Amino acid sequence: MDWVLLPLLFYAAAHSAAPLLIAGLGELITEKSGVLNLGVEGMMLIGAVFAFIAAHDGGGFAGGLLAAAAAGFAVAGLFAFLTVGLRANQVACGLALAIFGGGLSAFAGLSYEGKSLPDSVFAFADFAHKKFVHDLFLLFALFMLAATWWFLNRSRAGLILRAAGENHDAARQTGYPVSWIRAAAVLYGGVMCALAGAYLSLVYTPLWAQGMSAGRGWIVLALVVFASWRPGRLLLGAFLFGFMGILNFTLQNWGATVAPEFLAMAPYLATIAVLAAISWKMRRRRSRDFPSCLGKPLPLSR
Amino acid sequence: MKALHFIPRPPEQKAGAQKWAALAAVFLALGLGALVLKAAGASPPAVYKVFFVDPFSSAYTLAEIANKTVTLSLIALALAAGFRANIWNIGAEGQFTAGAIAASFVAVWLLEESGRWAVFAVLAGGVCGGMAWAAAPAFLRAKVGVNEILTSLMLVYVSLLLLSYVVHGPLKDPEGFNFPQSPLFGESSLVPSLLEEYPLYATILVLPPALLASHYFVSRSWAGFQMRVIGLAPRAGDYAGFSRARPVWISFLLTGAFAGFVGAAEVAGTAGQLTPVISPGYGFTAIIVAFLGRLHPLGIVAAGMLMAMIQIGGENGQIDLALPVSVSGVFQGLILFSLLAADFLVHYQIRRRGD
């Protein structure tokens, strides 16, 4: 075991945590407004595939990000129309979004599997070191973390968003457009999840492969629960799972003889363990920051 | 929108409206699907011909559709029981995989066995494997209160990794030229086909009794009644003293058993051995089948058939029309979305102001 590697390990874990943090911050805002969007996995895959296609076909890095954001916006819009507009069951719609995202991304990305991005995509980062684009996303994630904290706890708009998630009847009677607030929160969540997907296909791998998010979207949902809907704790959770994600490479480096499949199970089993621990701790009362109207459709006004 | 308003539909009208909503959703999805196909450069009429017309000219394809319908319907029947009680087991894919793995261990262990009882042992192994896999999220939900959606889904990924480990390790065929697959199962461990020339597996015989049993369970049994009450009005269930944990256990173990059973039937039927990929996502498709079938046994079989046709069509279209298999995933998502949108009309009547 080489302790000199430890800082490098931290660095790698941070890069593996970045997409979880970005998507988690998006989902956090969505849930704080009272909407449970289980389709994170689908939105990440949609973002990943359209980012890759756009970047590969000459759009460059910025084009890829833009395409991902637009695609995330579009599918989240569909979800918002159904759940916020038509008051459809949020759990079922989220599952539909996860399945649809998986199918559509596989369909759209079929001829891009196994291709690599042209060098020109990363030409803008040539002046810096090799991991610069990784760092870019990491910085974005940390900036958004601070911004989300400020928005939720210090801004008037954040207070209104929390009110919509906490008690939608009271918020509506106070005169706030609860449905529009929720729709906006869903759309924001969709864009963030898609950007997290774009990070995976443009920078982290960087390849497109069917189902490449490998359950990260579902882990993100667990992370938001683990974080008790607090941005700061989300950072902790994302880091924890970032370590899990690189466990594979790390332990092999250190001469472990466990089958790689068992190491790859770690993030999923850890998710279950973390959820069990948090549920056990919270079994008497819900977290103070739990949005009470989460998953409940706003009654139609007459 | 000012001119329209929405009135909740009276409950006695909802059952009828649900069927029409399902049909409307299918047609809406096919319409939207045509747009997606067009955008991808395929010809929608040609694709729909492969999906819905071509199967009827080939007995082989019909048998394939029947097999897949059985697989999907059996899982969906069990899932429906849980969905009624608002218990969301979305990890049937994992329970299917665990069943297939457990069944393969039994089959490899009985490789030399010539008695016909071997196939029952293999299927029983699948049932046990599926139930064991489902017991974990059930326990966590019932005892600790952990959200079953996330745990059951996490276990899907774990099961797929376990499958990969098993075919690369303990169950790898020693004479298989290092291919990651188990030895071919013994003749007596295989699920027989009802027809000589086409593979129509005997698993289909389980479907009619399963339909009857699930109908009886949902509408006649005490446990089924409790689950419906808990699904419709959880607090009414609490006041009546119904256990919240029991429906969780019932629905998870039921789905585990059914999914494990068809998982075993899949490896001991179509494949005849354990391979690294054993399912095109049956466990996830079954969720859509349950919803589209409106949680009703006959509806589930009809929806199962539709999904089987789309899946087989996707596979056949891959060859004829150079269509990716994943097109069936697109259709599954579109159908579910359309259904959820159409459900608005089940719950609400639209009226103009002043009517």
As a whole number of Å, the end-to-end CA separation of chain B is 15
pLDDT at A2: 63
| Contact between chains at B327 and A103 (C-beta distance less than 8 A) | yes
Answer whether A87 touches B (CB < 8 Å).
yes
Q: Per-residue pLDDT tens for B337-354? A: 898 888 888 888 777 765
Buried (b) or exposed (e) across B7-27, using 16+ Cβ within 10 A?
eeeeeeeeeebbeebbebbbe
Alpha carbon distance B129, B255 (integer Å): 12
Residue A286 DSSP label: -
Buried (b) or exposed (e) across B281-295, using 16+ Cβ within 10 A?
bbbbbbbbbbbbbbb
Q: What percent of chain B has pLDDT over 90?
A: 33
Contact criterion met (CB below 8 Å) for A106 and A221: no
The fold of the A3-281 domain, in CATH, is ABC transporter involved in vitamin B12 uptake, BtuC (1.10.3470)
List, as own/partner pairs, every contact residues B294-297 make where C-beta atoms lie below 8 angstroms and the sequence separation is at least 24, other chains included.
B294/B18, B294/B19, B294/B22, B295/B80, B295/B83, B295/B84, B296/B80, B297/B77, B297/B80, B297/B211, B297/B214, B297/B215, B297/B218
| Contact between chains at B140 and A261 (C-beta distance less than 8 A) | no
Contact criterion met (CB below 8 Å) for A178 and A189: no
Nearest to B162 among A88, A107, A261 (CB): A261
- Touching B: A residues 265-284, CB under 8 Å: 265, 268-269, 271-272, 275-276, 279-280, 283
The dotted CATH code for B43-322 is 1.10.3470
SS3 B155: helix
Answer whether A91 touches B (CB < 8 Å).
yes
| Contact between chains at A86 and B344 (C-beta distance less than 8 A) | yes
Residue A221 Cα, gap to closest chain B Cα (Å): 8
Chosen from B150, B165, B284 to mutate, greatest number of chain A CBs within 10 A = B150
Q: Tell me what the pLDDT averaged over chain A comes to.
A: 86
Q: Per-residue pLDDT tens for A129-167? A: 667 777 888 889 999 999 999 998 899 989 989 888 888
Answer whether A221 touches B (CB < 8 Å).
yes
What tokens were used for B189? 């461990």
* Ordered DSSP codes for A80-96: HIIIIIS---HHHHHHH
Beta bridge partners of B352: B4
Alpha carbon distance A75, A197 (integer Å): 14
| Contact between chains at B328 and A103 (C-beta distance less than 8 A) | yes
Mean pLDDT confidence for A192-221: 89
Q: In A, which residues are within 8 Å of B40 by CB distance?
A: 107-108
Q: Where in chain A are the domains?
A: 3-281
> Exposed, middle or buried: residue B235 (CB in 10 Å: 0-12, 13-18, 19+)?
exposed
Which of A193, A195, A144, A213 minimizes the C-alpha distance to A23?
A193
Highest mean pLDDT among A94-108, A279-293, B31-45, B188-202: A94-108
Percentages of chain B per state (helix, strand, coil), in multiples of 5: 70, 5, 25
Residue A283 Cα, gap to closest chain B Cα (Å): 7
Q: Per-residue pLDDT tens for B268-326? A: 987 788 998 898 889 989 998 998 888 889 999 999 999 999 888 878 777 666 677 77
Mean pLDDT confidence for A229-238: 90
Nearest to B165 among A108, A262, A271 (CB): A262
Q: Where in chain B are the domains?
A: 43-322
Chosen from A46, A50, A99 to mutate, greatest number of chain B CBs within 10 A = A99
Q: In A, which residues are within 8 Å of B337 by CB distance?
A: 78, 82, 93, 96-97, 100
For tokens 């296909």, the residue is A201
| Contact between chains at A262 and B288 (C-beta distance less than 8 A) | no
Torsion of CA A53, A54, A55, A56, to 10 degrees: 50
Residue A110 Cα, gap to closest chain B Cα (Å): 7
Does residue B51 surpass a pLDDT of 90? no
Q: Per-residue pLDDT tens for B159-175? A: 999 999 999 988 888 88
